């Protein structure tokens, strides 16, 4: 599966890229981010203020009381109020920071999810063919989450940077020599963080990759649960999954080893800083460079910073994952090769004219599945597209509905190259019922109207034409019955008929049915086909079919073999002159004839024995 | 971290899922979760010792540093030698603490990750053990998240929170003891202030838990909406319903964002509560301390030292609130994985199930009735005997119950009434391994795995060699088709087999089942997308090789019925006619009508 998404662009500048990702978040939501940082600053200031308040209380209320042997009620009340007041502000800071950081993060997630899924809806089907479902799902989920994970601790970290600068200034003012200690410790923290990130990022990326793989295996396995069950392969599947889960475990342990090493070191550094300050300070005290009180103050600043400084580490810890996530998200956002739309409209009324001219298509470069296909369909005609399994019929129907564009050649409707038609115009005139039925997890009505405002009468009319009115009216809530994911509660033929009704309700000018009645029993199929012939005369119909009943309805037959149109004409003409076609459509009859012959010979055998 | 990391984060539609949504309490969930993963306890004693040491370091070092500052600098003349010795000791303690922390972390990661990997495996296996019906009540994405994202939720807590609880508890005890040494009256005040908070925490906890459950549910909606836009990309384009899909996605995304924000607000409001209580405590202690001091039962120095101790007391409490949040996530995750494990495998492999000998197989349906859960009966009193070595065709209108019949026969579901016997043995008492070996169904849509053709066919019998696979394809008359593929057996089939045409997918699914070599092969419209010529070839090949075996085919193409020994005609969940084709066509009835449509369908007038 050729996917060009780079799982990671590892190397030196993870940190730099990570900061860029954060930059994007800040530029997108500057207000809420600023709010969070302000709240964080309030928290920082109040952290300092709380010790100041306590100090004030000690100096002005506690000590005088002990000295004088009597409590001054006034100052005591003021002191208590001061302590509580500062705490209220600090709490408000924490609350504001948390809530706003959360809002920032969630908004960014929502932005990205929208942007990514808009791309999914915009990019051509050929792009979807190249990208595994699991990958696209994780792009919109885990990758988005990883990309914005650093936003949660970010405001706190920014607050810390401000605190650090303030502290540095304060220390310099107290004593330049002690400041040198500070300037050694703070960069040491930064350097340690950098080393940490460099060691961690490849491991974290691998873990992230494996996490996606574990989900992919689970997804696929649960998707194929029926096959797993019917073939009794639960053990093998569990082993396959467990192998991936174990790889993830090992990757996580490897991450844990690095985290486990660096986290305690980062935690220890500020304390070591305090100790260094004391040591150096004791020397400075000796030489009289600083007063004991100043030393206490500096040491206090260090203790104050010990906890919040780790917030920096939290942000940094999320950066590698964030970069990987963001890279994958931008790979989707930057994906080009979207379908180009022109300005032409398909606003003629009545059945459409369709032409294919020199159309080729290859899923895999070098092995075309359609080669120089050309045919024309006059308005109002019904064409049967016949050919062996794998001949390229479904591919051709997708080209006619412009789900994909031809590699070479042109598809025209009403004489207009489909590539020149404006967005939305093709689907307004052309309806394709794909071979593989897809239903949305929605109501019957939602699945048929697809968000359109079709009145109920028209929905019912389409259901009648698709022979689906009977079972739909028997559903518990009729049109409003929800059918489960991919229509799980309906039988195959019922699903197919809903898909058919979905096409019919739009009264398309070109109706393309890709083997759309394969799960429907012959009687119902016959009723559908007669209904189509009598009622939907307003459309040109192209129908992929094997069954004679369907072919019988067609005015002409296009016979496709290995991607090439080998014949085109009426059924009788093809029957007379095209051996492949004859073989295909008369297979049942010949089978029956042969069996009859066989039965006769068996009977005679028995007679002989008897 | 609120929600973690995988393509399938998310809960499924809560209302329809029939997986147990374990309504046990948080503590019970937690206990059950720990019981599930014995790996968590692996080397726990050593880890605990390290944790205690690391905690001691964390508690003692700040006190020591404080003491150094007070003793060395606070009182008049600085005592420089004392400072230096103490600093050296403290530095040593810091390094040792870090070392203990490192060792503890590594051990923790190892044991928890092992536990979680095993838990994933268990959950995954159990999902496969659930019956198709139970599986279908939950979206695929939801099931996936139960063994991925939901398990991830547990890891943060187990690796950080779990021990933090112990560490914090240790810190609390140490701080309480120290405080009591200074003044028991003030210690009482401190506890009196914090007790209400501690008591209120469970209430917060429930609130937060509810909010996070909502978040997970909304995340499931997002996943479903996104997956629709990916899986349904062809239909969305064909019908120009991009805008509608975008709207659906937006609704889901906004729903999730709102739930996340709400949860964050609840956490944001409850989290600083500790901060407030702490400040009130300090204020009270100051007032009470002064009052006590005036009454001469505490000195100024002791009061100030006591105030310092309160900070030691607060920080573990704060951590505890943080941990509580993580615990919420973890418990939510556990609930969802337990929801899987607690859901009984309703169609279970019987214990000590019988192993039936291989060979010709007979099946009997004995007054079998079936209704999908919460729905009307779709099969009524079906009684039928399929003798060994017969080829049976099942025909009938869509929705008449043919697939349901097939699912019962393969024991994907159990009948609601009556019973099904294979070789005279109740299907429910036959071991799965024996059953799956003898009866294989090819379902309506042949799901393929994202791998090569060879791998997919080998899925039927893992021990098969490449030659056997080629031979199987040849026997089925598919050699020409195989030769036409550019990469032959090595051709990648793409996700869900989507790089093959629908008919080709069915060919592979059929070859896969054929290779499995069962005694009874059940085809549920397994060749509906295959062209007639290939289908006839296949049928003939199967006919040749299934002689001596029992074969049941559900098909709308009545050529199958013509070739069968017996035809079962279904209508509205009943078998209304049965007998060989030649007999049935002569009788007026459902079959004759079907056949009439079929013949006008196959021959052109
Ligand atoms: N998404 C795809 N990627 C690669 N090959 C494909 C894809 N879809 C179809 N093919 C190949 O293209 C050929 C034609 O497929 P299709 O048009 O579906 O055939 P038909 O509908 O006639 O049975 C087949 O050989 C199939 O393997
Ligand atoms: N998973 C399900 N849940 C509820 N009802 C179902 C489910 N599957 C099938 N049904 C209903 O059971 C009836 C018989 O379906 P089925 O056996 O699939 O018919 P068919 O004869 O077409 O194979 C139908 O009315 C269908 O709607
Ligand atoms: Mg096809
Ligand atoms: Mg069916």
Residue A97 CA: distances (Å) to CA of A35, A48, A101, A146, B268: 8, 17, 6, 20, 8
Q: Give every strand in the sheet of A416-417, ordered side by side.
A: A370-377, A354-361, A408-413, A416-417
The rounded mean pLDDT for chain A is: 84
CA of A436 to the centre of ligand 3 (A): 9
The per-residue pLDDT for B605 is 42
Q: Could you tell me which chain A residue has the CA closest to the CA of B221?
A: A441
> Of A608 and A302, which is predicted with more confidence?
A302
Residue A8, pLDDT > 70, answer no
Fold of B363-602: Rossmann fold (3.40.50)
- Segment B489-512 shows an average pLDDT of 89
The β-bridge relationship of strands B363-371 and B417-422 is: antiparallel
Residue B553, pLDDT > 60, answer yes
Which among A58, A546, A562 is the nearest to B532, CB-wise? A546
B425 strand-pairing partners: B422
**Contact criterion met (CB below 8 Å) for A156 and A99:** no
Compute the Cα dihedral for B70, B76, B82, B87 and give only its sign.
positive
> Any idea where the domains of chain B sit in the sequence?
21-342, 363-602
Structure tokens at A496: 């197919």
Whole-number Å distance between alpha carbons of A259 and A246? 19
- Segment A114-134 shows an average pLDDT of 87
**Contact criterion met (CB below 8 Å) for A402 and A353:** no
Whole-number Å distance between alpha carbons of A47 and A43? 6
- Which residues of chain A are within 8 Å of residue B527 when distances are taken between CB atoms? none
Q: Could you tell me which chain B residue has the CA closest to the CA of A252?
A: B113
Residue A2, pLDDT > 60, answer no
Residue A111 CA: distances (Å) to CA of A105, A115, A161, B590: 10, 6, 28, 57
Kindly report which listed range (A222-231, A467-476, A591-600) carries the lowest average pLDDT score.
Answer: A591-600
Residue B4, pLDDT > 60, answer no
Please spell the DSSP secondary structure of A246-290, one letter per residue.
HHHHHHHHHHHHHHHHHHHHHHHHHHHHHHHHHHHHHHHHHTTSS
Residue A174, pLDDT > 70, answer yes
Q: A378 at the B interface (CB within 8 A)?
A: no
Q: Give every strand in the sheet of A382-386, ordered side by side.
A: A430-433, A510-514, A540-544, A382-386, A556-561, A564-569
Residue A258 CA: distances (Å) to CA of A14, A26, A147, A199, A396: 17, 30, 21, 7, 54
Whole-number Å distance between alpha carbons of B361 and A448? 45
Q: What is the CATH number of domain A11-333?
A: 1.20.1560.10
pLDDT digits (tens, 9 = 90+) for A389-423: 999 999 999 999 998 899 999 999 999 999 999 88
Q: A75 at the B interface (CB within 8 A)?
A: no
Kindly report which listed range (A236-245, B102-111, B227-236) carries the lowest average pLDDT score.
Answer: B227-236
Whole-number Å distance between alpha carbons of A43 and B275? 11
Whole-number Å distance between alpha carbons of A40 and B581? 82
- Which residues of chain B are within 8 Å of residue A234 when distances are taken between CB atoms? 125, 128-129
The per-residue pLDDT for A97 is 92
pLDDT digits (tens, 9 = 90+) for B434-451: 998 899 999 877 789 888
Residue B545's pLDDT band, with cuts at 50, 70 and 90, is low
**Contact criterion met (CB below 8 Å) for B217 and B16:** no
Residue A92 CA: distances (Å) to CA of A34, A44, A311, B271, B316: 15, 12, 19, 11, 20
The three-state secondary structure class of A439 is coil
CA of A371 to the centre of ligand 3 (A): 16
> Of A553 and B565, which is predicted with more confidence?
B565
Q: Cβ of A173: how many Cβ atoms within 10 Å?
A: 10
Closest CA to A270 of A295, A306, A301: A306
**Contact criterion met (CB below 8 Å) for B466 and B472:** no
Looking at all shown ligands, the one closest to residue A494's CA atom is 2
Q: B232 at the A interface (CB within 8 A)?
A: yes
- CB B425 less than 6 A from any atom of ligand 1: no
The per-residue pLDDT for B13 is 35
Torsional class of B401: left (φ above 0), alpha (ψ -120 to 50), beta (otherwise): left
- CB A129 less than 6 A from any atom of ligand 1: yes
**Contact criterion met (CB below 8 Å) for A411 and A459:** no
Residue A603's pLDDT band, with cuts at 50, 70 and 90, is low
Q: Which of B10, B124, B403, B581 to mutate to test the interface with A (most CBs of A within 10 A)?
A: B124
Residue A486's pLDDT band, with cuts at 50, 70 and 90, is low
Cα angle value A114/A120/A126 (rounded, 5°): 170
The per-residue pLDDT for A601 is 62
The per-residue pLDDT for A417 is 92
The per-residue pLDDT for B73 is 67
The per-residue pLDDT for A523 is 77
Kindly report which listed range (A84-93, A411-420, B401-410, B529-538) carries the lowest average pLDDT score.
Answer: B529-538
The per-residue pLDDT for B546 is 61
Cα angle value A258/A263/A269 (rounded, 5°): 130
Q: Could you tell me which chain A residue has the CA closest to the CA of B1?
A: A149
**Shortest distance, CA A161 to any CA of chain B (angstroms):** 22
Residue A6's pLDDT band, with cuts at 50, 70 and 90, is very low
Structural domain A354-577, CATH architecture: 3-Layer(aba) Sandwich (3.40)
Kindly report which listed range (A482-491, B170-179, B402-411, B554-563) carries the lowest average pLDDT score.
Answer: A482-491
- Segment B578-590 shows an average pLDDT of 91
- CB B498 less than 6 A from any atom of ligand 1: yes
pLDDT digits (tens, 9 = 90+) for A29-62: 999 999 999 999 888 888 878 877 877 887 788 7
**Contact criterion met (CB below 8 Å) for B11 and B141:** no
Residue B83's pLDDT band, with cuts at 50, 70 and 90, is confident
Crossing angle between the packed helical segments B140-147 and B300-342, to the nearest 10 degrees: 130
The per-residue pLDDT for B28 is 85
- Segment B92-111 shows an average pLDDT of 91
Structure tokens at B41: 């306890």
Helix (H) or strand (E) holding A308: none
Inter-chain touch B460–A238, beta carbons under 8 Å = no
CA of B406 to the centre of ligand 4 (A): 9
The per-residue pLDDT for B547 is 62
**Most confident by average pLDDT, A481-485, A562-566, B277-281:** A562-566
The per-residue pLDDT for A535 is 67
The per-residue pLDDT for A71 is 64
**Contact criterion met (CB below 8 Å) for B36 and B119:** yes
The per-residue pLDDT for B151 is 86
Whole-number Å distance between alpha carbons of A489 and A476? 12
Percent of chain B with pLDDT over 90: 27
Whole-number Å distance between alpha carbons of B482 and A451? 43
pLDDT digits (tens, 9 = 90+) for A488-544: 778 888 889 999 999 988 888 999 999 888 888 777 877 887 887 776 557 899 999
The per-residue pLDDT for A360 is 95
**φ/ψ (deg, to 5) at A464:** -65, -45
Whole-number Å distance between alpha carbons of A352 and A406? 20
A432 strand-pairing partners: A512
Which among A66, A95, A518 is the nearest to B300, CB-wise? A66
The per-residue pLDDT for A537 is 56
Q: Would you give the distance in Å from CA A224 to the centre of its chain?
A: 21
User: What pTM was computed for the model?
Assistant: 0.82
Helix (H) or strand (E) holding A557: strand A556-561
The three-state secondary structure class of B395 is strand
Length of chain A, in residues: 610
Residue A604's pLDDT band, with cuts at 50, 70 and 90, is low
Inter-chain touch A76–B286, beta carbons under 8 Å = yes
DSSP state of A364: B
**Most confident by average pLDDT, A111-115, B152-156, B274-278:** A111-115
Compute the Cα dihedral for B349, B353, B355, B361 and give only its sign.
negative
CATH homologous superfamily, domain B21-342: ABC transporter type 1, transmembrane domain (1.20.1560.10)
Whole-number Å distance between alpha carbons of B530 and B514? 17
Closest CA to A101 of A46, A153, A162: A153
The per-residue pLDDT for B480 is 87
Helix (H) or strand (E) holding A565: strand A564-569
- CB B373 less than 6 A from any atom of ligand 2: no
ipTM of the complex: 0.84
pLDDT digits (tens, 9 = 90+) for A418-477: 999 988 888 888 999 988 888 887 889 988 888 777 888 889 999 998 898 988 998 888
Structure tokens at A471: 């079972």
The three-state secondary structure class of B246 is helix
Helix (H) or strand (E) holding B553: strand B550-554
> Of B566 and A3, which is predicted with more confidence?
B566
Residue A276's pLDDT band, with cuts at 50, 70 and 90, is confident
**Shortest distance, CA A117 to any CA of chain B (angstroms):** 7
Helix (H) or strand (E) holding B312: helix B300-342
pLDDT digits (tens, 9 = 90+) for A194-222: 788 788 878 888 888 898 889 889 988 99
The per-residue pLDDT for A427 is 84
Structure tokens at B16: 């329809």
Q: Enumerate the H helices of B343-431 as residue ranges.
A: 402-409
The three-state secondary structure class of B417 is strand
The three-state secondary structure class of B215 is helix
The per-residue pLDDT for B76 is 62
Q: Which residues contact A135 (CB under 8 A, 6 or more apart)?
A: A3, A5, A212, A216, B7
Whole-number Å distance between alpha carbons of A386 and A392? 10
């Amino acid at each position: 599966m050729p996917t060009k998404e780079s799982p990671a662009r590892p190397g030196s500048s993870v940190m730099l890229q990570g900061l860029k990702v954060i930059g994007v978040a800040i530029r997108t939501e500057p207000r809420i981010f600023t709010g969070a940082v302000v709240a964080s600053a309030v928290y920082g200031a109040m952290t300092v203020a709380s010790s100041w308040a306590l100090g004030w209380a000690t100096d002005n209320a506690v000590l005088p009381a002990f000295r004088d042997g009597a409590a001054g009620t006034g100052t005591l009340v003021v002191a208590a109020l001061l302590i509580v007041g500062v705490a209220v502000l600090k709490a408000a800071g924490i609350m504001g920071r948390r809530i706003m950081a959360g809002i920032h993060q969630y908004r960014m997630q929502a932005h990205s999810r929208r942007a990514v899924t808009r791309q999914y809806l915009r990019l051509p089907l050929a792009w979807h063919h190249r990208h595994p479902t699991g990958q696209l799902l994780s792009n919109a989920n885990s990758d988005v989450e990883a990309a914005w994970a650093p936003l949660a601790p970010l405001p706190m970290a920014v607050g810390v940077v401000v605190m650090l600068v303030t502290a540095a200034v304060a220390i310099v003012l107290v004593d330049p020599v002690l400041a040198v200690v500070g300037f050694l410790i703070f960069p040491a923290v930064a350097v340690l963080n950098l080393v940490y990130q460099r060691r961690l990022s490849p491991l974290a990326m691998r873990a992230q990759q494996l996490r996606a793989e574990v989900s992919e295996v689970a997804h696929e396995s649960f998707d194929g649960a029926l096959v797993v069950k019917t073939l009794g392969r639960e053990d093998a599947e569990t082993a396959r999954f467990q192998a991936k889960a174990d790889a993830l475990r090992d990757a996580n342990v490897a991450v844990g080893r690095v985290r486990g090493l660096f986290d305690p070191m980062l935690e220890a550094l500020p304390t070591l800083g305090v100790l260094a300050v004391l040591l150096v300070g004791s020397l400075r005290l000796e030489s009289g460079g600083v007063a004991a009180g100043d030393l206490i103050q500096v040491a206090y600043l260090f203790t104050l910073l010990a906890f919040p400084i780790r917030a920096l580490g939290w942000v940094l810890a999320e950066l590698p994952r964030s970069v990987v996530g963001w890279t994958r998200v931008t790979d989707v956002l930057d994906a080009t090769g979207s379908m180009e739309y022109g300005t032409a409209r398909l606003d003629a009324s009545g059945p459409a004219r369709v032409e294919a001219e020199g159309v080729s298509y290859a899923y895999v470069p070098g092995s075309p599945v359609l080669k120089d296909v050309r045919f024309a369909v006059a308005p109002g005609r019904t064409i049967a597209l016949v050919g062996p399994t794998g001949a390229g019929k479904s591919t051709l129907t997708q080209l006619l509905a412009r789900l994909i564009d031809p590699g070479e050649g042109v598809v025209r409707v009403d004489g207009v190259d489909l590539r020149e038609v404006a967005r939305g115009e093709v689907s307004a005139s052309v309806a394709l019922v794909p071979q593989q039925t897809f239903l949305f997890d929605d109501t019957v009505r939602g699945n048929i109207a697809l968000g359109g405002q079709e009145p109920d009468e028209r929905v019912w009319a389409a259901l009648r034409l698709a022979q689906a009115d009977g079972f739909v009216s028997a559903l518990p809530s009729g049109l409003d019955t929800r059918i489960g994911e991919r229509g799980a509660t309906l039988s195959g033929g019922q699903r197919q008929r809903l898909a058919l009704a979905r096409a019919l309700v739009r009264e398309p000018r070109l109706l393309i049915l890709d083997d759309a009645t394969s799960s429907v029993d012959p009687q119902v199929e016959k009723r559908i086909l007669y209904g189509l012939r009598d009622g939907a005369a307003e459309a040109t119909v192209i129908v992929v079919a094997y069954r004679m009943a369907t072919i019988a309805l067609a005015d002409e037959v296009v016979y496709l073999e290995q991607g090439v149109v080998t014949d085109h004409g009426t059924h009788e003409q093809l029957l007379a002159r095209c051996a492949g076609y004859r073989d295909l459509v008369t297979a049942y009859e010949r089978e029956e004839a042969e069996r009859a012959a066989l039965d006769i010979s068996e009977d005679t055998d028995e007679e002989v024995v008897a | 971290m609120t929600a973690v990391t995988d393509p399938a984060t998310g809960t499924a539609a809560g209302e329809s899922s029939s997986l147990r949504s374990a309504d046990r309490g948080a503590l019970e969930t937690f206990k059950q979760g720990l019981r599930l993963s014995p790996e968590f306890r692996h080397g726990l004693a050593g880890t605990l010792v390290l944790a205690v040491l690391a905690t001691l370091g964390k508690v003692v070092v700040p006190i020591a540093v404080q003491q150094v500052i007070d003793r060395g600098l606070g009182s008049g003349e600085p005592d420089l030698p004392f400072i230096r010795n103490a600093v050296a000791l403290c530095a040593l303690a810091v390094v040792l603490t870090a070392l203990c922390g490192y060792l503890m972390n590594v051990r923790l990661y190892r044991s928890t990750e092992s536990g979680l990997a095993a838990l994933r495996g268990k959950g995954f296996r159990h999902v496969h053990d659930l019956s198709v019906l139970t599986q279908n009540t939950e979206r695929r994405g939801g099931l996936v998240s139960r063994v991925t994202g939901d398990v991830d939720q547990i890891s943060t807590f187990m690796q950080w929170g779990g021990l933090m609880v112990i560490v914090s508890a240790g810190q609390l005890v140490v701080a309480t003891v120290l405080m009591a040494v200074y003044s028991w009256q003030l210690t009482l005040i401190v506890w009196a202030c914090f007790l209400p908070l501690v008591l209120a925490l469970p209430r917060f906890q429930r609130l937060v838990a509810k909010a996070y459950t909502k978040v997970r549910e909304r995340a499931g909606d997002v996943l479903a909406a996104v997956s629709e836009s990916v899986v349904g990309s062809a239909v969305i384009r064909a019908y120009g319903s991009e805008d509608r899909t975008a709207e659906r996605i937006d609704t889901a995304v906004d729903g999730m964002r709102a739930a996340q924000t709400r949860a964050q607000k609840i956490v944001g409001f409850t989290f600083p509560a500790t901060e407030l209580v702490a400040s009130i405590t300090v204020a009270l202690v100051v007032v009470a301390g002064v009052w006590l001091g005036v009454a001469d039962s505490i000195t100024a120095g002791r009061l100030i030292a006591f105030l310092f101790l309160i900070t030691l007391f607060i920080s573990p409490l704060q951590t505890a609130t943080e941990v509580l949040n993580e615990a919420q996530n973890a418990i939510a995750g556990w609930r969802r994985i337990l929801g899987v494990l607690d859901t009984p495998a309703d169609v279970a492999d019987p214990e000590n199930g019988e192993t039936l000998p291989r060979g010709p197989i007979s099946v009997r349906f004995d007054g079998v009735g079936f209704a999908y859960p919460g729905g009307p009966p779709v099969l009524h009193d079906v009684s039928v005997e399929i003798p060994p070595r017969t080829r049976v065709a099942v025909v009938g209108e869509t929705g008449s119950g043919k697939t349901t019949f097939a699912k019962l026969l393969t024991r994907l579901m159990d009948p609601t009434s009556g019973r099904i016997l294979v070789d005279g043995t109740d299907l429910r008492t036959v071991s799965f391994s024996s059953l799956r070996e003898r009866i294989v169904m090819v379902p309506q849509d042949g799901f393929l795995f994202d791998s090569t053709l060879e791998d997919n066919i080998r899925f039927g019998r893992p021990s098969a060699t490449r030659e056997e696979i080629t031979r199987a394809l040849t026997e089925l008359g598919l050699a020409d088709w195989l030769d036409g593929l550019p990469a032959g057996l090595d051709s990648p089939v793409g996700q869900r087999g989507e790089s093959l045409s629908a008919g080709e997918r069915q060919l592979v699914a059929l070859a896969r089942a054929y290779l499995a070599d069962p005694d009874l092969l059940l085809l549920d419209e397994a060749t509906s997308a295959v062209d007639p010529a290939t289908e006839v070839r296949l049928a003939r090949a199967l006919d040749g090789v299934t002689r001596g075996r029992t074969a049941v085919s559900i098909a709308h193409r009545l050529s199958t019925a013509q070739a069968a020994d017996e035809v079962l005609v279904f209508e509205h969940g009943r078998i209304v006619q049965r007998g060989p084709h030649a007999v049935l066509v002569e009788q007026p009835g459902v079959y004759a009508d079907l056949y009439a449509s079929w013949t006008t369908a196959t021959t052109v007038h």
